[in-house]
Structure 1
Amino acid sequence: MYICGIHTDAGKTHLCVALCKAFNYSYFKIVQAGCNKDSDILRRFVKNVKVHKEGIFLNTPASPHIAKKLDNIEYSINDLILPNDDKMIIELAGGLFCPIDDNLTMIDFMKKHKRKVILAARNYLGMINHTILSIKALQDNGFDIVCVVMIGEIDTRLDEFIYNYTGVNIAHLEYFDEFNIDEKIQEFKNEIEKYLRS
């Protein structure tokens, strides 16, 4: 299952932590750009999580098509291989149209390896537009969207507009830390379970 974001800082890794802790998913990051690895955040919050080696590691925290040049690393989308794992969530880098190499984007990789999708979003001015554009891109490319997960504060006015316009279900994940993670993830699990089963 793919974990996508409506933009770079939408909360994909926060969502991956919750899914791995709630449902024992393993974790794979397609492209890691920067030495502060998202997988380290997973390991901090989720003990005994299975973390696959990232598909491509880039030292420079930048768009992959720029970072690969700065790092003097050559690869293309065809060099990215998904681990053979039936219970794995796959975190993308950036948004759906973030470059993955010199010519193609994350959604191009997804189209080659179709899986269900959860879309991470958060509340800021312009998020309705970004969320609906992302949903439409996924729908136009034939993806099965499990739900949108709104991360952080809950605003039912946003939920209602997005749901009424797209028909895609909405779940919620509040921010958590070491002190309230169990409570917040249990609430999230109770809410999203029905969408994962359908």
Structure 2
Amino acid sequence: MKIFITGIGTEIGKTVCSAILTHYYQAAYWKPVQSGDLHHTDSMKISDWAGENVVIYPEIYRLQLAASPHQSAAAEGLTIHLDDFRLPETPHPLIIEGAGGLMVPLSDNALMIDLIEKLDLPVALVVRNYLGCINHTLLSLMALQQRGLYLKYLILNGSFPPDTERIILKHTDERTVIIRIPEIKNPDRESITTMAKKINIENHE
């Protein structure tokens, strides 16, 4: 099992959701591009949250500037190329976490969705409720559909007004498994472990 975790934007809980799925599947974890926060990377968070035995593969790019990867790379005189990325060889299930959303630029010529397409992976899309989330979700669903990418999981992170959830699910492919994760305000190993035990994915697949 390999899956690429993306979101409808930034700061919507991809890393928390990645930690839960990493624990749930007893998976390895890979963040191809870390842009900023090198003192407390997403890989470090997964190591703290998902269990002491989790296998974490190193980032291909560790960029200093907390900005879009193409800008962070340019600040260091680098250009990110899609050919730089290869899936780690692993005997474990693998959770891959992107940076930001689908249309985040890796370079002037490549977007995050291009990397997903190159790696040929099913997708988990993390959605959080805020004013505008319906628009961002439906645009993301449309982009995945246009590229022929399989949305395996739609993760509803936190609570949603019924009217918002109804519209989102109406436009989601019936093959997609819906995962609901309650708000985790202060994630730690205990809360991630508890949530990983509560979700039940296999019965819906």
TM surpasses 0.5: yes
Question: Unaligned stretches of 5+ in structure 1?
Answer: none
* SS of residue paired to 1:92: strand
The equivalent position to 1:174 in structure 2, one of 169, 176, 182, is 182
Give, in whole Å, the separation in 2 of the partners of 1:153 and 1:173.
Answer: 8
Does 2:53 align with 1:53?
Answer: no
Deviation digits for residues 78-99 of structure 1 (CA, Å, limit 9, x no counterpart): 1122212361111111110101
In the alignment, which of 57, 63, 67 is matched to residue 62 of structure 1? 67
| C-alpha displacement of 1:169 | 4.0
Question: Partners in 2 of 1:175 and 1:163 — Cα distance?
Answer: 19
* Cα 1:155/1:185, change in 2 over 3 Å: farther
Identify which range, 172-181 or 108-117, moves more after superposition: 172-181
Shift of the 12–127 alpha-carbon distance from structure 1 to 2, 3 Å rule, reads: same
TM-score, normalised with respect to structure 1: 0.90
**SS where residue 100 of structure 2 aligns?**
coil
What's the counterpart of residue 19 of structure 1?
21
- Asked whether 1:94 is paired with 2:96, we answer no
Match of 1:193 among 198, 202, 205: 202
Contact 2:105-2:111 within 8 A present in 1 as well: yes
**What amino acid is the match of 1:162?**
I
Q: Letter of the aligned partner of 2:159 in structure 1?
A: E
Task: Check whether the contact 2:25–2:93 (CA below 8 A) recurs between aligned residues.
Answer: no
Compare 72-81 and 137-146 and name the one that shifted more: 72-81
Letter of the 1:18 counterpart: I
Q: How many residues align?
A: 194
Matched, 1:7 2:9: yes
Secondary structure of the 2:18 match is helix
Give me the CA root mean square deviation: 1.7
Give the secondary-structure state (helix, strand or coil) at the position aligned to 2:179. Answer: strand
**Aligned-partner SS, 1:131:** helix
**Does 2:157 align with 1:148?**
no
Deviations 1:9-62 (CA, angstroms, capped at 9, x unpaired): 221111110001111111111110111310011011122111000121111111
2:150 maps to 1:139: no
**Cα deviation 1:174-194 (Å, max 9, x = unaligned):** 23333533333322x22x333
Per chain length, whose mean CA-contact separation is higher, i.e. which structure has more relative contact order (CA < 8 Å, sep 6+)?
Answer: 2
> Residue 30 of structure 1 is aligned with which of 29, 32, 57?
32
Structure 2 partner of 1:126: 132
Contact 2:158 2:181 in 1 (8 A): yes
Q: Which amino acid aligns with 2:42?
A: D
Instruction: State the Cα deviation string for residues 138-183 of structure 1 (Å, max 9, x = none).
Output: 1111111112101122433322211112334422112333353333
Amino acid at match of 2:197: Q
